[in-house]
Structures are given as structure tokens and as C-alpha cells.
Chain A
Amino acid sequence: MGLYLLVRAAVLVVSTAVASVVVFAVMAVLPGDPAEVALGVNATPEAVAAKRAEFGTDRPLVTQFLDWVSGLPTGDFGVSYVTSDHIGPQIVDRLGVTLWLVLFGMLTALVVAVPLGTAAAVRHRSVGGLLLSGLSQVGVAVPAFLAGILLVFLFAVTLRVLPSGGYTPLGEDPGAWFQQLLLPSLSLGLVQGAVLSRYVRSAVLDVMREDYIRTARAKGLGLYRALWRHGARNAAIPVVTVLGLQLATLLIGAVVVERVFTLPGLGSLLLDGVANRDLLLVQGTVMVLVVAVLAVNFLVDVLYAVLDPRLRGAR
């Protein structure tokens, strides 16, 4: 188990390092001089040179990269070329909103998918399967932002029971906080739940066919107890893979959903950064999102090892 985790952790570190190079390279090597952007088209060459010196963009790229990357572990993302604000604190500030959104979205997906998928597998295979497959097809076809708009129309415009957007910090008013996070979380989670339920059904169906479930029943366990005691953990293994992929999808989906509901999360920070051509802010935010995706992949690998003893000895 130790070796396996060590290898996975090494992969995480190396991937993060390579990702930082990629992000930096795309933002820095491609055309577009932040000094010129900051000063506008009519700036004199001298002024631009001075601005470059101020930003440090006149230094060799390798130096700039090392300077940027060495600050990342401590949360130092540099100072914005546009607003002259420190970027780190802004990201930390916005990260919370996005994490709540993703967490609630994931919970919604699980609450929808696990009972639905299991029921469809255990009861009437054909009818449940057909219904679920249709439901999850529709789920995949409706992007999160469209689901958001539909939910706003239903709950905010027609029923007038929930707000259509905005954000109140948890510390200020927990009630408002929850109400305002509810629709965004649902629009992220319902869609993913519909998708996930199909995988849950398939995993449960697979497990039901396993010999060890028959063994469990031959021991005297009823079907449901056999499935729960011997099947749940085995079925969780394939579901966790999909869950990991979906968590990455949720993170990125959150960027769009934040725009729909005007939530001040990482996504809106990123989009504001692009709108203001604040390249360093964009660079930092993208890096955080990429590391989050990589970290999710790592967590999935760890969860594998916890769930499946066969992996612990391997590699």
C-alpha cells in the first residue's frame, strides 16, 4: 500500500509541476505584452520599458517562471498587472464559494444516483434500466448552465420560492447562504446524478452476478443484506472512477454555473480576469483549477487502495 500511494503521490507532484510549466508557457510565451496592455496603444517605448521593468517581464522567462512557481506553494500568486492587488488572497477568498458549490453538487448527484441506480438494478431490470438510460441520456444532453436557467425559471420566476442569484457569506446569514447555493448546486448535481445513476446501476448489476454474492446467500444472507454487506464495497470501486471524472466536470461546470447565478467564486474571478486582460490573475486561477482536478485524480487513486485490498500489494 505504501509503495502504491508513493507512486501515485509522485505522479501528482510531477503532473502539477508539468502543468505549471504548461500554464505559464501558454500565458507568457504567446503574444500579448502585459506592459503594453496596461499602458494602452499610445504608450512611448520608454514608458513600456519602464513598465516591463516594474512587472519584471523584462527578465528571462525561466527566471519569471521560477519566481512565479516558487510562490505558489505559499499561496503567493504575484501581484496583478492591472489592479496592482495581490492575487493569492483573492483566489483564497473565492475558492470557498466554488468548493461549497462543488461539494453540494456532488452530494446532490450521489443522493440522486445511488438509490436510483440500485433500485433500477435490483427491481425490474428491463423497465428500470430503460427508464434510467433515458433519464441519464437527457441528463448528459442538458448542460449545467441550461439546467440552471430552467431551474431559475421554475423556482425563481414561476414559483418565486428561491432567489435567482447572488451570494451571502455563510457567516452573515446561513439561511440566505443556503437558499442562494441551493439552485446552483441542484443545476450542477441533478445532471451529474442522472449520469452517475447509470454507472451505479451497471455496477450493481455486475456485482449481483458475482459468485461471492451467491456464496453470501448460500451462507444465509437475504438478497438485500448480501448486496449491502458484500456488494456495496465492490460496486463502489467502478463508481469511484466515474465519480472522480465527474468531480472534475463539476469543478469546471461550476465556472459556468457561477456566471448563471452571479456567484462570486473562482469561475467569476477567472472570467473577470479575462475581461480585464489580467493575465497573471487568469494564470493563477487556471493553475488552481488544474491542481484541483489533479488532486481529485489522486484522491480517487487513494480511495481505490482503501476499497480494494488487491491494489495494496501492487506496484
Chain B
Amino acid sequence: MTALENTSPAARGRRRWRRLNASMLVGGALVALVVLAALVSFVWTPHDAVHVDAAHRLAPALSDGYLLGTDKFGRDVASQLLVGARTTLFVGIVAVGVAALVGTPLGVLAGMAGGWLSEIVMRANDLLFAFPALLLAIMLGAVFGASTLTAMIAIGVATIPAFARVARGQTLGVMHTEYVLAARAAGRSRLAIALRHVLPNIASILIVQASVSFAIAILAEAALSFLGFGTPPPTPSWGRMLQESQELLFSTPRLAFLPGLAIALAVLGFNLFGDGLRDWLDPKLREHR
């Protein structure tokens, strides 16, 4: 009888619940950590993140009141990491927001309209795909000069195809469901169908996409700052911290490892959270990845 109990639907459900949350929990915890760091940085940092303490350049960790030491200019690393989280999240939110606001309507339109309109939107999408965030940012940076704004726009525009593609695919699926067919048969307007049936049904997948896109945006921002096309100094940024410390890899590797770890953990967090969310929404997909 115990064997049967182990495989009862309820037990299976419980087991699934626990497994599902592993990804979401770890991912969510990492995301929360980044968000917390960013929020805390508004009201408190151990030191002024941009203050140059010339007397304590390259101070080791836990010395002179510097928890993680100082960089080559004598700035507090811990404070820079905290404020860097703010920069990272800011760029991510704006970039993903732009991409979602532009890409989603385009994708829904393509999915609902079909025909030549859909074809044009998707071809334009494919074309945009050939312009990765980094190239766009470098182009914009060359013309306007590097700034947080150009980075955000470049990453946002480059992320549009991801949203449009997902929105279109999901919309196509929803358009074939019984309730949409019924609504169309009842003569509801296209806009009403889009707002009442399509959007609510594709929203969850779009949230998953937002989480995954956020991770990509963080990577892009870090790469841009590393190349000097992102947030300009003195505003702290993880990517630029990494770039500034590369030459010190022989003497003070800690300065490269810390921002590197911050980037990797933040990306890991958003990716895990997105993956976990997707599994949670559709357990059938779990085995496939």
C-alpha cells in the first residue's frame, strides 16, 4: 500500500511543487539580492561610492574600514558594487520595457492579422535580429557619444525581436482556441479580442520572456560598459569595474572577480527565475530542457 501512496496523484503533485520551486527560489533569491542591493544603495552605502581616497589606493579587503577594499583610485569596492546594481537594474528595466512595449503589439498584430502584414513584421524582425545590441550601441555611441541612454535604447531595440517572436507564436496559438473562435463568430472587434482574450493569455509567457531578456540586457550592459560604451564614469557600473581592473589581474585579481561574480549571479538569477517560471506555467515542458 505504501507503494501506491508514493505514486498517488497528490504525492506526485507535491513532489512537482517542490521541484518547480527550486529554480524559481534560487533565481528569485538572487534577483531579490540584486534588487535589495540597488534599493539599499539609495539610502546607504558604506562609503561614498565615487569618493576617491588617494591615501588608500588598492587597500586590501577588511582594512581601514573598507569591507572589500578599494580600487586603483581608492574608491570603495563594496559601495561601487551596491550602486552598480542600481545602474544594472535601471538599464535593464528601461531596455526590457522598451522592447516589451514595442515588440508585444507588433507580435500580436502579426499573429492576429496574418498574411502580408505578418510577413512584413516578421521579416523586419529578422532584419533587426542582424543588429545585436552591441553593434547598435557602438553605432549610436559613435554618433552620439557613449551614455546610459544610448546603451538602454540599443539594448531595448535589439530585444524587440525576441518579444515580437514570442508574442506572435503565442497569439497564433490563442487565435485557434475555441473561445477566440467563438468571440470572432459573435462579431467582436479585433481590438476587443486582442485585449480581452489574446493579451491575458500570452501575458505569462511574456513575463518569462521579460525575465530571460533582462538577463541578456544585463550581459549586454556589462559588455558595453566593459568596452566603454555604457554608463560613463564616474557612475559605478559592474562592466566598467571589470574593465578598469583587467590590467591589475596580476596583482589584485579580487578587483576583477568581484564585479564578475556580481554580473554572473545577477544573470544567473534572472535566467533561473525565468526558467522556473516557465516550468511552473507549463510542467510538460520541464523535461525538455
Query: Residues of A with Cβ closer than 8 Å to B?
Result: 11, 15, 18-19, 22-23, 26-27, 30-32, 133, 137-138, 140-143, 145-146, 149-150, 152-153, 157, 164, 198, 202, 205-206, 248-249, 252, 255-256, 259-260, 270-271, 273-274, 277, 279, 282, 286, 289-290, 293-294, 297
Contact = CB atoms under 8 A, between A and B. Distances in A.
A285 to B, nearest CB: 9
Given A18-B127, A286-B139, A138 B242 contact: no
B289 A133 contact: yes
A271 B138 contact: yes
25 contacts: A15-B127, A15-B130, A27-B143, A30-B144, A32-B143, A137-B271, A138-B268, A140-B271, A143-B223, A143-B267, A145-B223, A146-B242, A146-B264, A153-B249, A153-B256, A248-B132, A252-B132, A252-B135, A255-B227, A259-B226, A260-B246, A273-B142, A274-B138, A282-B142, A286-B139
A259 B127 contact: no
Nearest to B275: A137
B155 to A, nearest CB: 13
Given A273-B142, A286-B135, A293-B130, 6 more contacts: A11-B126, A141-B264, A157-B249, A157-B253, A255-B134, A293-B132
A145 B249 contact: no
Contacts of B268: 137-138, 140-141
Contact of A290 (B126, B135, B289): B135
A216 B179 CA distance: 43
Nearest to B269: A141
The 10 closest A-B pairs by CB, nearest first: A141-B268, A141-B267, A293-B130, A274-B142, A252-B132, A141-B264, A146-B260, A30-B143, A282-B142, A290-B130
B242 A149 contact: yes
A297 B126 contact: yes
Contacts, number: 125
A18 B128 CA distance: 10
B276 to A, nearest CB: 11
A277 B256 contact: no
In the complex, which range does the number of interface residues on chain B fall in?
Answer: 35 or more
B265 interface: yes
Contact of A23 (B139, B222, B287): B139
Nearest to A295: B130
Contacts of B135: 252, 255, 286, 289-290
Contacts of A286: 135, 138-139
B84 to A, nearest CB: 14
Contacts of A294: 130
Interface centre among B142, B143, B289 (most CB of A within 10 A): B142
Given A141-B215, A143-B223, A252 B134 contact: yes
Contacts of B18: none
Interface string B266-287: 0110011001000000000001
